[in-house]
Amino acid sequence: MQIERYLGRISGPLLDRIDIHIEVPNVPFRELSDTTVGTTSEKMREQVMIAREIQQRRFVGQPTMVNGKMTAKQIRQHCKLQPDGETLLKQAMEEMGFSARAHDKILRVARTLADLQQAEAIDALHISEAINYRTLDRNYWQ
């Protein structure tokens, strides 16, 4: 209840300007003591470096260097969606009441997620994950 009251004090337009917001729950003990190896820092670094190279090639000769700084025109050019991704984004916009700013932020994040997987196109999985990074929007509008 305290968290909801605190978040209620943050204005929607301010919250809208934050690209990624997620809740991080406590990690259960069994997961902390699990010996299964996840993604290593080195592997993650490698994925990020490849994604950054993809972005450098995408924006060669332009002042923009990364997806997070794309203009509206660049978003329309570089964030082409697969039909299933477009359907999902449309549903989310209508059902969750996302703003135009949130729409563009979702596309920027989805483009980055696709780059991390070295995928040319943005599909429903990328859109779904990007939408999930807007948890505070969902809480704010509900």
46's tokens:
């490698």
Average pLDDT, the chain: 87
As a 3-state breakdown, the chain gives helix, strand, coil percent values, each rounded to 5, of 65, 5, 35
For residue 118, the SS3 value is coil
Question: In this structure, what are the phi and psi dihedrals at residue 46, rounded to the nearest 5 degrees?
Answer: -60, -45
34's tokens:
């699990």
pTM, entire model: 0.80
Task: For residue range 40-72, list pLDDT tens digits in order.
Answer: 999 999 999 999 999 999 999 999 999 999 999
Domains of the chain in start order, with CATH, are 30-141 (1.10.8)
